[in-house]
Each structure stands twice: as C-alpha cells, then as structure tokens.
Structure 1
Amino acid sequence: MIYLLGGPPRVGKSIIAGEIRRRFAVSVVSTDTLGAVLESVLSPGEAPDLFAFGGMSMAERTMTDPAQLVEGLIRESRVVWTAVEAFARREHAEGRDALIEGVAVLPELVSRLEEVPHRAVFLGNQGERVQENIKSAAARNAQDWMRGVSDPDIAAFAMLVRRMSARIEQEAEEFGFEYIELGDIPFEAATEAVMRALGLGGR
C-alpha cells in the first residue's frame, strides 16, 4: 500500500510521518528528498518551476503576495510529482509499503494514481495560532530552517500556510479526499486522525 500525506509547509507532516514510521515500521520518504534528486539532474533552464520558490530569500517571500507564493509552490509540486509518482509506482511494483509525505502531495496529483493502491489524507491549518506554532516548532529544533527568522517573516509565512491550506481543503473535497484542519484540534489528536484516515488504526 502507498500512503500519502499532503499539506502546506509547517503543519507537522514530517512529525506525524515519523510517528507512523516508529509505530508501524513503514518506510517514509519526503517529497523534499525526491525534489532534491530532481534538482541534481535538472537545471533551472530545464525546469524553472522546480527552483523558483527555493531560490527566493526569506525577504523576497515576505514581500511577495501569498497568493503568488501558493501558485509557485503548486507549480513546483507538479514538477516534483513526476518523481513522486515514479517512486510510488516502483514501490508498489516491488510489493513494498511506503508513506510519502510533503508539499508536493496534492489532491489533484494523487487523483492520477488510479492504478496504484493508495490511501491519502491532507493536513492544513487556517487557525489563528499558525504563527505561534511555527515559531515554537522552530525553537524546539536546532536544525529547523526557520529558527531565528524574524517575527514579520514568520507572520508572512503563516499567511502562506493559511492560503495554501484553504486551497488544499477545497481541492480535497473536489477529489474526494479527507482534509484535517489542525486549527480545530490538538496536534496529538491530529496524529491519530491521520493514522485512522490511512487505515493504520489510531486511538
């Protein structure tokens, strides 16, 4: 079975995926990793959308309309999906279970995996505490790339998270996938809800 966990940046996908790996011994791969593989074999000239968002400084992201940033992430995700889909199909062909998590897991893209047995769920956070959550998560992790980022930059990124969450919620409904709103429930409850949605149990 191929399990897919999607959502905007900074909503806890990797943390939940890590808990699933710990409990169920399922291999986990991030779409960030698959995207990095593509970046190593493609040039900005060959795949400009793959490099556009990652090539922006935090200051540039802060000054850019969140709607434009969301569209940029969507375009990047469509490029990365070529690697995600190939990975999913190979893992299925080899008879291996795998969980793929990341921003590039979008409802419109997952809907193309018709021949591959899969279960998918999407996270989002449109609540009032997104900025606080991002800041506290970064403070707990010395390797977090948002550690030390200024409050105005975090606020701008929180707006991106809300905008992309709203888009994913709408798209998930359109394609018949479950969407879990993290602004409504404790994170521990969201972890269990993801596991239930993926058919992995959960309390």
Structure 2
Amino acid sequence: MSRRKIILIGGMPTVGKSTIAARVAKRLDLPWISTDQIRTLMMTTANKQDYPLQFNADGHTAESYLTTYTADEIATQVIQQADEIWSTIRHFIDSDWVWRDGFVLEGINITPSLVAETYGGNEDIKAVFLSDSDTERTRTVVYTRGLFGPPHETPDALKEKEIEWTHLFDRTIREQIEKTGLPLVEIEKTERDVDRVLIALGYS
C-alpha cells in the first residue's frame, strides 16, 4: 500500500502559491486546497472571542485598513493570525480521510515554525516555502490584482505599503526557514518553478 502524501506549501502573498499548488497536485495526481478555503468555512461559525485576530479587518475598507496599520504591523498580524488559526488547519490535515491518497494544501497561514513544531520528523508530511525577492514582480501583482481588494479601490501610495508588508512577511518566513531548515524555493515565475519545488520536496 502506497504511503499517503500530504504536501504543505507556504510563503509570501503574490508569489503564486495557488499556481504552484495546482501544478504540483497535477504532477502527483493529488487534489489541492487552500487554507483560505478552510478559513472561510471556519469563519461561518467562528466566535470573535476565540479567534479575535481573524476579525482585525472587520469594519475596514482596504484603504482604511492600510491607513490604520503600518506595514510592519500588518506583517506581524498575518503571522499572528496564522498562529491563531493553526489548530483548525492542523485538524484538517490530521483528520481528513476523504482524500485517502493525500492532498496538497497551500496558504499564507502555513509557516515554517508551525510546520516544524507540529510535524517535524513526520515523513508523510512534506513542506516547502516559496519566496520572490523581485520587488518589481510583487509590484506588478499588487497593481494589477490587488491584495485586500480590487486594485482600483486602493490608492497607489497604499499599494506601496502592501508591497512593503509583503516583503516584511517574507523576511520573517526566511528567518524561520533558517531556524527550522525547511526548504525554500526562490520563485522565478518560469516553467521551471514547479520542477524546482518538486525537487525541494524530494520528488525528482
């Protein structure tokens, strides 16, 4: 009987986690899902007292949120939100037996520290983190796709703050990578990316 494969893909916004997850899943013949989908389901019944950080943006437009908080505060909030929601994500990873062959799970809520602490040494669960140090590529995504909402709803000056917090978040992920030794792939936005990710996961 083949072993169940569970692949976790984390990393900064705009890096293309969903695209890579879909391609990895296709190559390994597995389904894939995003932590955003898990969070959306959880939030339908979540209590604000139990998950206060998940409600940080309540009452805000993209513009007011980006005006209220500094780039550093936003990056810190995103890391803290990952910590807060991790028990829900972990429950999904540990309890989902619908996909008996395994699955690929991607999302910003997957961080090296959480993975290493929870699944270090578990050979059935592999993780990789994606990064893109090319600020211009990040800028292109933010200006054309947006992060907190459609790009036309966010003034250009605040788009620059989105770029800033995205790379501050990436810096934290890189610091955690150094401590945990988990694999990091610098994305080039080329067809080679999926091959490099699979190699980092141990699939040549």
Same fold? TM cut 0.5: yes
State the identity as a percent: 21
Q: Distance in 1 between matches of 2:201 and 2:126?
A: 6
- Segments of structure 2 that go 5 or more residues without pairing to the other structure are none
Structure 2 residue 140 is matched with structure 1 residue 132: yes
2:41 to 37, 45, 50: 37
In the superposition, the TM-score normalised over structure 2's length comes to 0.83
Q: Which residue of 2 aligns with 1:162?
A: 167
1:28 to 27, 32, 53: 32
2:55 to 51, 67, 72: 51
Aligned length: 194
Q: CA RMSD in A?
A: 2.4
| 1:167-199 deviation digits (Å, cap 9, x = unpaired) | 1011012111111233xx344333322122123
Q: 1:115 to 1:169 in 2, by over 3 A?
A: closer
Q: Which residue of 1 aligns with 2:23?
A: 19
Structure 2 residue 104 is matched with structure 1 residue 99: yes
| 1:107-164 deviation digits (Å, cap 9, x = unpaired) | 111011247421111112232312123334x29xxxx943434432322111111101
Q: 1:181 to 1:53 in 2, by over 3 A?
A: farther
Secondary structure of residue in 2 paired with 1:17: helix
Q: Which residue of 1 aligns with 2:196?
A: 193
Q: 1:23 to 1:93 in 2, by over 3 A?
A: closer
Q: Distance in 1 between matches of 2:119 and 2:24?
A: 22
Distance apart, 1:49 and its partner CA: 1.0
Aligned 8 A contact 1:123 1:179 in 2: yes
Whichever residue aligns with residue 135 of structure 1, its letter is: Y
Aligned 8 A contact 2:11 2:111 in 1: yes
| 1:37-69 deviation digits (Å, cap 9, x = unpaired) | 221121223311122146642113322211111
1:174 to 152, 171, 179: 179
Q: Which residue of 2 aligns with 1:86?
A: 91
Secondary structure of residue in 2 paired with 1:126: coil
Q: 1:99 to 1:53 in 2, by over 3 A?
A: farther
Q: 1:38 to 1:68 in 2, by over 3 A?
A: same
Q: Distance in 2 between matches of 1:156 and 1:171?
A: 23
